[in-house]
Structure 1
Amino acid sequence: MTKSVPTPADVAAAARRLGRPVTEAQAASLAQYLGQLVKWNARMNLVGPADWTAIFDTLVVDSLYLADFLNGLQLGDTPLCLDLGAGAGLPGIPLRTIWPRGEYWLVESRDKRATFLRSAVGRLGLAATHVFHGRAEEVLDSLALRGNHATADLIVSRAFMPWRELLPFVRPMLRPWGTVVILANTPPPPEAELPAGWSPAEAASYPAGGKTRYFWPLQRVEPQP
């Protein structure tokens, strides 16, 4: 019978089984997050899977591979990152346990999910990781009031909206040559199908839940004068 609350050793074994090992400290943080998520999920239906192993194998797996993928992008040492429609903190919270670069904002408009995110981030003590409770189009104005960058270096989107709608939506939020990474269940579209002002970088695929998933990195291109 699957334990409802995993130990760090459980998580470390699950990560090895997926072919993406984690450190003891990372396993401890992931175990704490998964335990909290399972408990809250029983009351408010944050994610579909009910037990931690299914959550790990089908959802946390994205974060493990995303960390490696982001390390291969040219984002600078302290990028400003926005995670749109952060929901239950996937991929953002597990990602931040193993990829702590820059400043990371989990953007979520729904009250209960934002409450969970604040609780999880607070319990884990994730460095430079924050929750913005509000509409995505309002986040940069709010950050500007705090003295932050005017635009983001990186935007992460997992099922926030269809990509044809997402690209014009996030374009004003990205700095020139900033990157949006779309987590998808299908390969990226041909470059000819992208709207003007976007340049694709090399996509990546990875196994998740017995299927293949993809990261689409797209850069905002400035028009020629």
Structure 2
Amino acid sequence: MAELPTRQLADGLAAMGIELPAAAQETLLAYAGLLDKWNRAFNLTALRDPKKAVSHHLLDSLAVLPYLRGDTLLDVGSGGGMPGIPLAIARPDLAVTLLDSNSKKTAFLRQAVIELKLANVSVHCGRIEEFRPEQPFASIVSRAFAELADFVRPTRSLLAADGCWLAMKGLIPHDEIARLPSGIVVAETLPLAVPGVDGERHLLILKDGETAAKEGV
């Protein structure tokens, strides 16, 4: 990348009410640099403008930080590592698993984990239907991975009993919500304000109906 936009990141975080130490901000920018470098050969993301990396990759990923539940996170269809890697950088206490079926993308993810020294991140290459982790996850996130039903259905057995799904979307997908599997409820629909990102952004927090009922949703 050209000169890394340190001020843009700091100002964006401040606007979002997120406090991160300088070392974490430096690691976030280093990740953006790696993403830009590898994207030229591996097509990790459709966004080619490095000037938008801070807003559309880093800040957009970190917008879900306040809504994470527990200390384990599965990022489904992680692609170039979003939102999982920025969240892992912001929360070193969070055990993050990045899952993608594309071997070139997971090769990048593994290299990024090594270069950024992210001890709290693991990478798995394979289909979500074939993923068999040792423990369920407190939070499962996707960033425009698939339709809601296709996100929830294969990950239902991977969610902890009191966990939640975090689906990052643009406009509220009313049609997708109507097609959710039986027993899954939308607990919250939250607008996300991301500095530098035009257009609507929303986070849908989904829960199993029994969990939602216990929590009074």
With normalisation by structure 1, the TM-score equals 0.81
CA shift, 1:49, in A, is 2.4
Distance 1:133 1:193 in 2: 28
What is the aligned partner in structure 1 of residue 193 from structure 2? 207
1:84 is matched with which residue: 52, 69, 76? Answer: 76
Distance 1:220 1:17 in 2: 33
What residue ranges of structure 2 are gaps of 5+ in the alignment?
none
Q: Which moved more, 1:116-125 or 1:9-18?
A: 9-18
CA shift, 1:5, in A, is 4.9
What is the aligned partner in structure 1 of residue 209 from structure 2? 221
Q: Which moved more, 1:190-199 or 1:48-57?
A: 190-199
Amino acid of the structure 2 residue aligned with 1:4: A
The 3 A distance-change label for structure 1 pair 174 and 43 is same
In the alignment, structure 1 residue 152 sits paired with structure 2 residue 140: no
Distance 1:221 1:175 in 2: 13
Distance 2:114 2:8 in 1: 23
Q: Which moved more, 1:172-181 or 1:186-195?
A: 186-195
Distance 2:85 2:163 in 1: 22
Distance 2:205 2:93 in 1: 18
Asked whether the 8 Å contact 1:159–1:183 carries over to 2, the reply is yes
CA shift, 1:13, in A, is 4.5
The 3 A distance-change label for structure 1 pair 36 and 170 is same
Amino acid of the structure 2 residue aligned with 1:92: G
Q: How does 1:63-102 map to 2 (within 5 A)?
A: 63-70=61-68, 75-76=69-70, 78=71, 80-102=72-94
Aligned with 2:153: secondary structure? helix
What is the aligned partner in structure 2 of residue 173 from structure 1? 158
The 3 A distance-change label for structure 1 pair 17 and 216 is closer
What is the aligned partner in structure 2 of residue 195 from structure 1? 181
CA shift, 1:16, in A, is 4.5
Distance 1:39 1:68 in 2: 30
What is the aligned partner in structure 2 of residue 120 from structure 1? 112
Aligned with 1:180: secondary structure? strand
Q: How does 1:133-148 map to 2 (within 5 A)?
A: 133-140=125-132, 143-144=133-134
The 3 A distance-change label for structure 1 pair 186 and 222 is same
What residue ranges of structure 1 are gaps of 5+ in the alignment?
none
Cα RMSD, aligned residues only? 2.6
What is the aligned partner in structure 1 of residue 168 from structure 2? 183
Asked whether the 8 Å contact 1:5–1:35 carries over to 2, the reply is no
1 or 2 for the larger relative contact order (CA 8 Å, sep ≥6)? Answer: 2
Aligned with 1:54: secondary structure? helix
Distance 2:46 2:179 in 1: 32
Asked whether the 8 Å contact 1:5–1:34 carries over to 2, the reply is no
What is the aligned partner in structure 1 of residue 55 from structure 2? 57
Distance 2:118 2:63 in 1: 19
The 3 A distance-change label for structure 1 pair 91 and 192 is closer
The 3 A distance-change label for structure 1 pair 188 and 177 is farther
Asked whether the 8 Å contact 2:142–2:168 carries over to 1, the reply is yes
Identity between Structure 1 and Structure 2 (%): 31
